């Protein structure tokens, strides 16, 4: 069967689509909520960048509202308990780092890893989304680049002093992302999103970010594939 026929066949109102959507929609709602809280926390930790971080935090609130509307539009109830579990490890690691004043680790988790994960997921979702969700997601993804850019710019300006902590935080947190992708793989496929495409897009975004911060090509390759073979 030609590819275009298969991809035109998504039934947004089917039971199976709405069931998968109840988890994916919850993940993005919870992800935006946690992102909001994390930028508020970062605004406390980085008083010099407070205004900018508060405005980034506000954007995450708008994103959350947008995705809540996407679920309502399909008459889906998001499975928020599933989503809390989904983010629990990254969330715990962010909280621990924040309590220890480890700003570099906090920025790596939120502004690099989570934002790159979101950008990859949203870019891949846009072509297979329903019309309502596509418009919302197109608006959201533009904002996510400004969150990623904040993290890149700060870490670039503090590169030498941050390098060792970035290495350690990457080693601790990137393998968690591959596990999260495995958990969402089956539901994402029902929405028309392939895991391989998500991994590829994530590695491109994350690799570019590491390179912009100042890592060599060799380091970028090593860091961005950390734990992938074991996943």
Alpha helices in 100-130 (DSSP H): 103-107, 115-125
Phi, psi for 14 (deg, rounded to 5): -70, 155
Query: Candidates 40-48, 119-127, 164-172, 210-218 — which segment interacts with ligand PL3 by CB under 6 A?
Result: 119-127
What gap in Å lies between CA 114 and CA 84, rounded to an integer?
15
Rounded least distance, CB 78 to ligand PL3, Å: 11
Residues 6+ apart with CB under 8 A from 106: 38, 41, 42, 45, 94, 97, 98
Binding mask 190-229 for ligand PL3 (x = CB under 6 A): ----------------------------------------
> Which position among 30, 144, 152, 187 is part of the footprint of Fe ion (CB under 5 A)?
144
E-state strands within the chain? none
Question: Sign of the C-alpha dihedral, residues 35, 37, 24, 220?
Answer: positive
**First and final C-alpha spacing in the chain:** 32
- The window from 4-12, 27-35, 95-103, 210-218 that contacts ligand PL3 (CB under 6 A) reads 27-35
Q: Between 151 and 207, name the residue whose CB sits nearer to ligand PL3.
A: 151
- Shortest distance, position 191 Cβ to ligand PL3, whole Å: 6
Which listed range, 10-18, 121-129, 169-177, 215-223, lies at the site for ligand PL3 (CB under 6 A)? 121-129
- Say whether residue 27 binds ligand PL3 (CB under 6 A): yes
* Farthest-apart Cα atoms in the chain, separation: 58
Using CB under 6 A, pick the residue from 17, 18, 20, 24 that binds ligand PL3.
24
Look up tokens 């069931």; give the residue: 19
Footprint of ligand PL3 on this chain (CB under 6 A)?
24, 27-28, 31-32, 35, 60, 63, 114-115, 117-118, 121-122, 125, 144, 147, 184, 188
């Amino acid at each position: 069967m030609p590819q275009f026929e298969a991809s035109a066949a998504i039934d947004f109102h089917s039971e199976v689509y709405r069931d998968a959507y109840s988890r994916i929609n919850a993940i993005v709602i919870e992800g935006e909520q946690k992102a909001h809280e994390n930028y508020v926390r970062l605004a406390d930790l980085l008083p010099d960048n407070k205004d900018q971080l508060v405005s980034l935090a506000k954007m995450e609130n708008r994103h959350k509202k947008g995705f809540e509307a996407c679920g309502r539009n399909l008459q889906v109830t998001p499975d928020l308990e599933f989503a809390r579990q989904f983010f629990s490890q990254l969330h715990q690691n962010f909280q621990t780092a924040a309590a220890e004043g480890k700003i570099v680790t906090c920025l790596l988790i939120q502004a690099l890893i989570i934002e790159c994960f979101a950008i990859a997921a949203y870019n891949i979702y846009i072509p297979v989304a329903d019309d309502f969700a596509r418009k919302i997601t197109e608006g959201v993804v533009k904002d996510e680049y400004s969150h990623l850019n904040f993290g890149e710019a700060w870490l670039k300006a503090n590169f030498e002093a941050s390098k060792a902590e970035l290495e350690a935080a990457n080693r601790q947190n990137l393998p968690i992302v591959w596990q999260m992708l495995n958990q969402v793989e089956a539901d994402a496929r029902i929405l028309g999103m392939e895991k391989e495409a998500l991994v590829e897009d994530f590695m491109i975004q994350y690799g570019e970010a590491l390179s912009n911060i100042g890592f060599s090509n060799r380091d970028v390759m090593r860091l961005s594939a950390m734990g992938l073979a074991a996943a």
